[in-house]
Structure 1
């Protein structure tokens, strides 16, 4: 199938130049690892701060990897070929974002339990942690991809990307950290996860159209 072949191509390209993905994952790990050193070894202090720390670190790490999401394709003319291709621009955008999520968002989900242990989170919180990251990281990438598509033609668009996208990340940050905080206190987390699911469905439905439109505008200029 065309989608599978395109996805394989994107994954191979990321594997050949893994800098952005590795940097974001290393940033996520280092930021979380530094907080126990800064806050001390008191487990109750780390546990109370852990939900916000994990999600702020994930948010910033995801944002770090998004600036170059479409830049290489823009500079080498691949975006123009996308526009001239017989395939739908939406399919190409979804393939690009999916490949990026597999290599960055899914990698964060895998390492999150290890980092959670460093913050003193009990094992019964791991389910809420993994589910919230699985539902929240696609939203972070899709929203960030909109900003990356809007700033792809700018040489130094990283700061502008952050200023545009960070306010949109607030609902995901609140729900994701809220789910982890509820799990830590032994409260139900289903409500938080359902709201995150709604945001994920909404982002997957609407964001590709915005990304494709932003890329079309930049290529046409």
Structure 2
């Protein structure tokens, strides 16, 4: 398992599979928003939690088509399917590698980028926590979408269309946690819902992704 994680991390760095790319995209989105909506601090403060979450969500999409693509192209996926490690474990490791190279940098950078959108001081902690809890769900859901479209030429657009509707609940509750935290309101309900979504996807979707991969590899 450690060797597979190390391999995927190395591929992400060497092949440009999302390491740094998602973070750069996130920075560009957050930087452009004030130019588009105006420099009014009140407006930026109001929309900051939602914009930061949308930027993180879109940044996660950039590297999803590379989750299984390189393994499919060089035949490694067939070898992994015959390895002693169950396919569900392989899928989970792929999702973990995606989160480490894409989701975790976004989580760490989001509070700093919140300064550009005049995020209120109480909102930084809740923005960080909401992304820390919610981004694993984005990676797991994205891995499921990547499994559905593996082997398809130019499947990136189809992958985005499949995954985006599944991202909506995580976006809603994640942005709500950040918004309520910034406004000093109670965050327990959306935070619990967000955690439930993450744990639910972690518990169920690796099995669905593994089943889809087995079908595609036949």
Please tell me the TM-score bracket, short chain as reference: over 0.9
More moved, 104-113 vs 35-44: 35-44
Alpha-carbon separation, structure 2, partners of 1:5 and 1:18: 19
Query: For residue 126 of structure 1, what is the aligned residue in structure 2?
Result: 124
Alpha-carbon separation, structure 2, partners of 1:24 and 1:69: 14
Indicate which of 90, 93, 112 corresponds to 1:92.
90
Query: For residue 215 of structure 1, what is the aligned residue in structure 2?
Result: 213
Alignment of 1:150-189 (within 5 A): 150-189=148-187
Q: Report the RMSD for the aligned CA atoms in angstroms.
A: 1.2
For structure 2, the 5+ residue unaligned runs are none
Q: Give the TM-score normalised by the residue count of structure 1.
A: 0.94
Alpha-carbon separation, structure 1, partners of 2:139 and 2:4: 19
For structure 1, the 5+ residue unaligned runs are none
What number of residue pairs does the alignment pair up? 218
Indicate which of 88, 112, 115 corresponds to 2:113.
115
Q: Give the TM-score normalised by the residue count of structure 2.
A: 0.96
Cα pair 2:140 2:205 within 8 Å, conserved: yes
For each residue in 1:137-180, what CA deviation from the matched residue of structure 2 results, as whole angstroms up to 9, or x when unmatched? 11111111111111011111111111111111111111011111
Alpha-carbon separation, structure 1, partners of 2:189 and 2:63: 30
Alpha-carbon separation, structure 2, partners of 1:72 and 1:29: 27
For each residue in 1:30-69, what CA deviation from the matched residue of structure 2 results, as whole angstroms up to 9, or x when unmatched? 0011001222221111011111111111111111210111
Alpha-carbon separation, structure 2, partners of 1:19 and 1:161: 16
Alpha-carbon separation, structure 1, partners of 2:37 and 2:203: 41
Q: After the TM superposition, which parts of structure 1 deviate over 4 Å for at least 4 consecutive aligned residues?
A: none
Query: For residue 203 of structure 1, what is the aligned residue in structure 2?
Result: 201
Alpha-carbon separation, structure 2, partners of 1:15 and 1:158: 20
Cα pair 2:11 2:17 within 8 Å, conserved: no
Indicate which of 44, 47, 61 corresponds to 2:45.
47
Query: For residue 146 of structure 1, what is the aligned residue in structure 2?
Result: 144
Q: Quote how far apart the aligned CAs of 1:12 are.
A: 2.1
